[in-house]
């Protein structure tokens, strides 16, 4: 039943989105940042929050004090399922962009909203295009837009986190912005574990203490992926006892 209601809501949201796209397109001609922030607020408050409610997601947010409001940051999360993005975005600062796989950029309507919010589409199989995406992300961070990324590179159905791609952390190193690890628990219970049905679940998201790259030794910066993976592994295991 939840799946059907969510489907109906998505259809209604898509219809509502059509005139909004034109309005925000015009806004962007005068102020790109305003377009990104307003688009994010619309997506969160008219899209993601209602879907989480309809889906029966009870959300616990830990470490709110680690969500940086005065500067942009690279937020790094473990990737469990489709609901990761909904949970992360509803707790994210403004403005925020996500790094997504290039295939998502081909999905009608969804890709347009993402582009309005300056989201990046990473082409993993094309080194040149992948580098260009990283460079775009560095500029976004420097200009005040936070970025959320899953260094595992794909959804992980196992108990242990996959190895992190070290290249993901170049975004923080080159932009001189902090890294905020984010531990997610139970997002896959909402959908992936019950495909194709949506189930209610208690989801925990924990924002960990920021890591400032410029305070680390060179050797520490080179293994930052392993360090962040270790932090998230411990948090995920600890929070698993509460869900």
| pLDDT at residue 1 tops 80 | yes
Number of structural domains found in the chain: 1
Gap between the Cα atoms of 189 and 185, Å rounded: 9
pLDDT tens profile 78-122: 999 999 999 999 999 999 999 998 778 777 788 889 999 999 998
Secondary structure letter of residue 163 according to DSSP: P
User: What is the extent of the structural domain holding 216?
Assistant: 2-242
- CATH number reported for the structural domain that contains residue 125 in this entry: 3.40.1130
List helix spans (H) across 77-217. Answer: 83-89, 110-116, 127-142, 170-175, 187-190
Give the pLDDT confidence score for residue 44 in this predicted structure: 96
pLDDT tens profile 145-174: 999 999 998 888 778 899 998 889 999 999
| pLDDT at residue 130 tops 90 | no
Gap between the Cα atoms of 233 and 70, Å rounded: 28
CB-CB neighbours of 96 under 10 Å: 24
Mean pLDDT of 161-188: 95
Of the ranges 93-102, 106-115, 124-133, 234-243, which one carries the lowest mean pLDDT score? 124-133
- The DSSP bridge partners found for residue 211 are 179
**Secondary structure (3-state) at 104:** helix
């Amino acid at each position: 039943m939840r799946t059907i209601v969510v489907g109906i809501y998505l259809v209604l949201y898509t219809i509502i989105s059509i005139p909004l796209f034109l309005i925000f397109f015009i806004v962007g001609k005068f102020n790109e940042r305003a377009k990104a922030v307003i688009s994010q607020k619309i997506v969160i408050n008219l899209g993601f929050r209602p879907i989480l409610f309809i889906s029966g997601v009870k959300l616990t947010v830990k470490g709110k004090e680690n969500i940086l409001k005065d500067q942009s940051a690279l937020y790094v999360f473990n990737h469990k399922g489709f609901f990761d993005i909904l949970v992360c975005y509803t707790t994210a600062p403004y403005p925020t962009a996500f790094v997504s796989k290039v295939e998502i950029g081909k999905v009608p309507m969804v890709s347009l909203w993402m582009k309005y919010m300056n989201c990046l589409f990473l082409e993993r199989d094309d080194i040149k295009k992948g580098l260009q995406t990283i460079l775009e992300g560095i500029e976004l961070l420097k200009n005040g837009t936070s970025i959320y990324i899953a260094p595992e590179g794909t959804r992980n159905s196992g108990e242990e986190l996959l190895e992190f791609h070290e290249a993901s952390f170049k975004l923080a190193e080159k932009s001189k912005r902090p890294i905020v690890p984010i531990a997610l628990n139970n997002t896959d219970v909402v959908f992936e574990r019950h495909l194709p049905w949506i189930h209610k679940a208690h989801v925990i998201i924990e924002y960990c203490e920021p890591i400032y790259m410029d305070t680390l030794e060179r050797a520490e910066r080179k293994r930052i992926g392993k360090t962040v993976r270790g932090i998230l592994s411990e948090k995920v295991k600890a929070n698993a006892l509460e869900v």
